[in-house]
Amino acid sequence: MRISFYLYVRYGRHMRVFVTGGTGAVGSHAVPALIRAGHSVTALARYPEKAATLRGQGATPVRVSLFDRAALAREFAGHDAVVNLATALPSMAQFLRAKAWRANDRIRTEGSATVVDAALDAGVGCMLQESVSMVYPDRGAEWIDETVPPDPFPIARGNLAAEASANRFTEAGGVGVVLRFGWFYGPGATHSEQLLALARRHIGTAIGPPDSYTPTIHMADAGEAVVHALDVNAGTVNIVDDDPLTTRDFADALEAAAGTRAWLRVPGRAALLFGDRLTSLTRSLRVSNARFRDATGWAPRYPSAREGWAATATALRR
């Protein structure tokens, strides 16, 4: 009784939350964070071992297709919110291949639309949709908030379609919230572990001009942010850390965390030669989290990638 009263005071009302993508890198932080906040969590699991992990976290796994509206609506029934974190982002090695984005495009277009239709069918009141802050235009050193319109490029199509689905949920009377996350990093993110391993071999990573900004978010902070996002009004919020670093400072932070100095930093300005295929990483995006912080009281544990990379390296050494 006292525990549930504490949870109510600390986090607000108890909610029944359905999570897709709960077995992924961000989901594996979001699901435990939701449970710690006192919510009941049901999560989509495609494989038995992932279902076992979810059960171990205190969630209820269900096997259902992301593309089956009727089956999803049956599973969503009785939930207060749906959190759609399902993605299929290509690995770093595949990032430049247009074909490697197809699965992700399907999840973000067809999948997100189906999730929204099913949530409406099931009478769910709130829907959170994962997106990325790389959809903003390059603004140099200027801060970017949610009033800046997106500047589409080919691999952002899926994200913008997912955002449109969340907005359609709002137009139909629900609370649809788009979560524009920064560039994820942290233990459990494959590309983070690869970048640290490269840094230990004195190969630094600096994508694009040294003075362009990268919006980042440690995955533990992203997971906590999902809990707080259940309380915001319909619309779009940026979920990034407080202090986006320039490409140069980001590379310094990564190397400091790895305990090395790079002999070379790649690909540098050469990344610009890949044009739209690397736009998401070469644009200068000094993205602000002010709207989300003001609306929720959420604050990142890692204010910038300096603290976040140091903690990631320590966690991985353990």
Ligand X SMILES: NC(=O)c1ccc[n+]([C@@H]2O[C@H](COP(=O)([O-])OP(=O)(O)OC[C@H]3O[C@@H](n4cnc5c(N)ncnc54)[C@H](OP(=O)(O)O)[C@@H]3O)[C@@H](O)[C@H]2O)c1
Among 17, 25, 127, 155, binds ligand X (CB under 6 A): 25
**Buried/exposed 197-235: b ≥16 CB within 10 Å, e otherwise:** ebbeeebbbbbbbeebbbbbbbbbbbbbbbbbbbbbebe
CA torsion sign, 105 to 108 to 114 to 117? negative
Size of the site for ligand X (CB under 6 A): 24
Q: How far is the CB of 186 from ligand X (least distance, A)?
A: 9
Residues in 80-139 at the binding interface with ligand X, rule: CB under 6 A: 85-89, 107, 132
Q: How far is the CB of 190 from ligand X (least distance, A)?
A: 4
Give, in order, the Cα–Cα distances in Å from 239 to each of 205, 243, 295. 23, 12, 12
| Nearer to ligand X among residue 38 and residue 61 (C-beta) | 61
Residue 19 lies near ligand X (rule: CB under 6 A): no
| Nearer to ligand X among residue 23 and residue 42 (C-beta) | 23
Among 18, 76, 183, 298, binds ligand X (CB under 6 A): 183
Rounded to whole angstroms, the Cα distance separating 112 from 42 reads 18
Map residues 39-58 to x or -, x wherever contact with ligand X holds by CB under 6 A.
-----x-xx--x--------
Structure tokens at 177: 């919230």
Among 17, 73, 156, 189, binds ligand X (CB under 6 A): 189
Structure tokens at 248: 């140069």
Instruction: Count CB neighbours of 70 within 10 A.
Output: 10
CA torsion sign, 130 to 132 to 137 to 139? positive
Binding site for ligand X (CB under 6 A): 20-21, 23-27, 44, 46-47, 50, 66, 85-89, 107, 132, 183-184, 189-191
